[in-house]
């Protein structure tokens, strides 16, 4: 295909910002990879509560810096400097967890964030709200005295050695089905239920006997075992469940979904093992005894007699919820067993009795965050790592066949409980407001930083809801819940728009955020109108499996961004996609909004070992940073070979700096570069798709020939 594009000009004409000219892709990618290993520690303010596809603060600090600086500015040389972009205004129309906002105010700019999802606006308000640390600790202590003993009562077991009651860290459950011959079968794929994250170094594992249900300690890879308790011989690596099928004792295979309860309830669970904590700090695995079952029955009975603030919301049918619904999960309360519902309800009830609204909402945010690690969709990650694999580890709500029940309040040895998240998430985020540190650059990306440079003043902003309030205060942060297609802002009032649009065809945020909305809506609906709705969805969501519809939805937001953006301002956003249709949709949205792509920069965006990435044959770990402006045209021209060559140059630069680049990452780089001439020519959707596909084929031939050499 002849695109009639001939020459590359490195610096676009009429550049008004540094990010149009250059971007330190290697240095920022190296820092970003360091951040991605422990995002909740390195940028705690954006991880006070679950949000999906949270972008890396390092990257967005550099983007904001480049978008607000003059063309001659060296972004990397100024990265660790303290800045004061007084009266500069940055807008994020898809604010999510608030990454853009935090990085903008750290640079001394004012920031406006808008999101259509009520969970987003609630968590962002809580993240930037300053409350005295002493008051938070005092409230936590009072809450602990009031409700923790009640909750801890249901998370204890008897130590068989001493006879004393000791705290339970985790209860291990397994789903069961009943065959037409009335055989109850647990959905174990293997009987090894706990092993170390590095089993070759530490081969000790915990195995459940399928005959007597006692816990056996042996090697993680044992293939033949005789139970020391009942002498049953079995292969620990071979359970009755395999894929979508189970095998009965007589050898008959059944499809699991065909054996789900006919009454429409979720599958029945069986409690099969316990991890408890002895007085000396030793963790011990124990089998389930009658006393443990009686304690659960006590929780079940009490739940029926209590009036607690529990969710009643029904689960909507959608892309991210269909698997849960196919297992008969109909209501959000079905995600929790009776003990979890009782203890979470008691905790929420205690929080609602806190008189100070600001403190109460901080605790509500912490409570909501705790839900992610305390549902029947959680599982055990194993020893030597964070124990709890959270509810959203697969993005879609995939029913867990061997759920892990966490201990809700928790101990100092727990993971993902209310008490541990108080320190690791809430308090860490509050301290970051005072000391907003950066990550020190180091050539070994996994090595811990020896220092945390303070490159910003403390974050001390007042959250407001209207433009008038925002415009009249210096240190103000405007947080809007609503459709970004209708921004309540004056024309040409924003210096830069920096954002990360939704990923159009897979992650439907409101379907997932209903998990939290179901608990928060009943207690917040009288304070915030966005919670007084049937669910967290909205007609104005930019989310659709059709790329053409997504393009039009995104264009309506980008058009608003163009309206409120100053003439010399830039719209900068991150994006990646593995298919030409995704890039064609982005190109169409930009051109409909009357803007052009002036520059693109590839940068590291996501940990390659994330659960959603490990299953991919060629995972994408780069984002393209697209820099757009309102000019009607400019004179940058590219030919196919120059595009391919530039893609390879950028990929090689990142690889030589230690960033692994997949074939899909190369496509991200190539596709983003192609948008520069195609947005200028205002090509239609089909043309862009065809151009991307054809140039990608040429590029693959070039890359493969170099690999062969």
| pLDDT 10s digits, 183-236 | 999 999 999 999 999 999 999 999 999 999 999 999 999 999 999 999 999 999
Q: What are phi and psi of 137, to 5 degrees?
A: -65, -40
Query: Residue 631: is its pLDDT beyond 80?
Result: no
Give residues with Cβ within 8 angstroms of 599, minimum separation 6: 12, 19, 20, 21, 23, 626, 627, 676
Which of these ranges, 361-370, 417-426, 446-455, 459-468, has the smallest mean pLDDT? 446-455
**Cα 440 from Cα 450, distance rounded (Å):** 8
Q: Is pLDDT at 56 greater than 60 in this prediction?
A: yes
Instruction: Give the domain ranges of the chain.
Output: 18-129+437-504+542-634, 133-189+239-416
Task: Give the distance, in angstroms, between the CA of residue 324 and the centroid of all CA atoms in the same chain.
Answer: 19
- Evaluate the CA torsion angle 695, 701, 707, 709 in order and state its sign: negative
pLDDT attached to residue 18: 97
Q: Which tokens hold the place of 619?
A: 């995972």
Residue 635 has pLDDT above 70, yes or no: no
CB count in 10 Å sphere of residue 594: 15
Res 443 pLDDT > 60: no
Tell me the chain's radius of gyration from C-alpha atoms: 27
Q: What's the whole-model pTM score?
A: 0.94
pLDDT of residue 606: 80
Which pLDDT belongs to residue 682? 82
| Average pLDDT of span 416-426 | 97
Looking at 223-356, list the stretches that DSSP marks H as alpha helix, in order from N- to C-terminal side: 290-305, 322-326, 338-352
d(CA 328, CA 110): 47
pLDDT recorded at residue 629: 94
The mean of the pLDDT values for the chain is 91
Per-residue pLDDT, 46 = 97
Interatomic CA distance for residues 53 and 56, integer angstroms: 9
Q: What is the pLDDT of residue 448?
A: 47
Is residue 607 over pLDDT 90? no
Read off the pLDDT band of 320 (50, 70, 90).
confident
- Enclosing H/E stretch for 675: helix 663-681
The pLDDT of 474-480, averaged and rounded, is 93
Quickly name the fold that domain 18-129+437-504+542-634 has.
Answer: Rossmann fold (3.40.50)
The answer to whether 98 and 128 have CB atoms below 8 angstroms apart is yes
Predicted local distance difference test score (pLDDT) of residue 708: 46
Predicted local confidence at residue 681, as pLDDT:
81
């Amino acid at each position: 295909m002849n695109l009639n594009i001939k020459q590359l000009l490195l610096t676009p004409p009429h550049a008004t910002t540094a990010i149009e000219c250059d971007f330190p892709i290697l240095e920022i990618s190296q820092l970003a990879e360091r951040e991605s290993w422990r995002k909740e520690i390195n940028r705690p303010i954006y991880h006070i509560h679950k949000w999906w596809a949270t972008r890396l603060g390092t990257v967005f600090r550099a983007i904001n810096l480049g978008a607000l600086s003059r063309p001659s500015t060296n972004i990397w040389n100024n990265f660790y400097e303290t800045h004061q972009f007084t009266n500069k205004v940055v807008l994020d129309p898809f604010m999510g967890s608030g990454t853009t906002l935090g990085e903008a105010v750290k640079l001394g700019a004012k920031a406006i964030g808008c999101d259509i999802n009520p969970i987003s606006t609630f968590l962002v308000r809580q993240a930037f709200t300053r409350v005295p640390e002493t008051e938070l600790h005092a409230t936590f202590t009072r809450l602990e005295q009031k409700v923790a003993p009640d909750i801890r009562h249901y998370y204890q077991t008897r130590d068989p050695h001493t006879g004393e009651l000791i705290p339970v860290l985790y209860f291990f459950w397994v789903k069961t089905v009943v065959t037409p011959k009335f055989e109850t079968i647990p959905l174990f794929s293997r009987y090894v239920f706990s092993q170390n994250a590095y089993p070759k170094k530490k081969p000790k594992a915990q195995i459940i006997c399928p005959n007597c249900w006692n816990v056996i300690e042996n090697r993680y890879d044992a293939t033949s075992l005789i139970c020391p308790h009942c002498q049953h011989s079995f292969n620990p690596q071979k359970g009755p469940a395999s894929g979508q099928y189970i095998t009965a004792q007589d050898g008959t295979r059944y499809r699991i979904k065909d054996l789900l309860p006919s009454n429409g309830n979720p599958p029945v669970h069986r409690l099969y093992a316990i991890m408890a904590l002895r007085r000396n700090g030793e963790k011990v695995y124990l089998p389930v005894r009658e006393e443990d079952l009686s304690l659960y029955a006590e929780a079940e009975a009490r739940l029926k007699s209590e009036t607690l603030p529990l969710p009643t919301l029904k689960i909507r049918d959608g892309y991210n919820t269909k698997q849960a619904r196919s297992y008969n999960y109909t209501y959000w309360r079905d995600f929790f067993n009776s003990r979890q519902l009782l203890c979470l309800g008691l905790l929420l009830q205690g929080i609602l009795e806190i008189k100070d609204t600001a403190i109460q909402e901080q605790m509500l945010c912490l409570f909501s965050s705790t839900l992610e690690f305390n549902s029947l969709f959680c599982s055990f990650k194993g020893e030597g790592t964070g124990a709890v694999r959270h509810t959203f580890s697969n993005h879609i709500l995939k029913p867990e066949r061997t759920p892990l029940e966490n201990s809700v309040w928790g101990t100092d040895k727990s993971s993902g409980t209310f008490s541990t998240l108080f320190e690791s998430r809430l308090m860490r985020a509050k301290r970051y407001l005072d000391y907003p540190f950066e990550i020190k650059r180091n050539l070994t990306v996994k090595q811990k930083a020896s220092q945390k440079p303070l490159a910003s003043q403390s974050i001390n902003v007042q959250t407001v809801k209207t433009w008038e309030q925002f415009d009249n205060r210096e240190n103000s942060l405007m947080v809007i819940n609503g459709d970004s297609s209708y921004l309540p802002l004056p024309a040409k009032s924003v210096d830069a728009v920096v954002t990360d649009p939704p990923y159009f065809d897979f992650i439907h945020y409101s379907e997932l955020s209903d998990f939290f909305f179901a608990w928060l809506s009943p207690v917040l609906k009288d304070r915030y109108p966005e919670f007084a709705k049937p669910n967290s969805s909205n007609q104005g969501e930019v989310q659709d499996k059709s790329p053409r519809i997504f393009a039009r939805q995104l264009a309506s937001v980008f058009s608003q961004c163009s309206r409120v953006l100053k003439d010399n301002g830039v719209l900068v956003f991150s994006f990646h996609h593995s298919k030409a249709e995704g890039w064609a949709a982005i190109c169409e949205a930009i051109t409909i909004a009357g803007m052009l792509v002036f520059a693109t920069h590839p940068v590291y965006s996501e940990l390659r070992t994330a659960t959603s990435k490990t299953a991919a044959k060629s995972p994408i770990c780069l984002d393209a940073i697209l820099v757009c402006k309102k000019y009607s045209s400019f004179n940058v021209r590219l030919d196919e070979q120059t595009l391919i060559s530039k893609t390879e140059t950028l990929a090689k630069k990142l690889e030589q700096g230690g960033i692994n680049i997949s074939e899909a990452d190369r496509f991200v780089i190539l596709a983003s570069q192609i948008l520069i001439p195609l947005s200028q020519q205002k090509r239609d959707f089909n043309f862009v798709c065809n151009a991307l596909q054809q140039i990608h084929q040429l590029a693959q031939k070039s890359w493969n020939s170099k690999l062969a050499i």
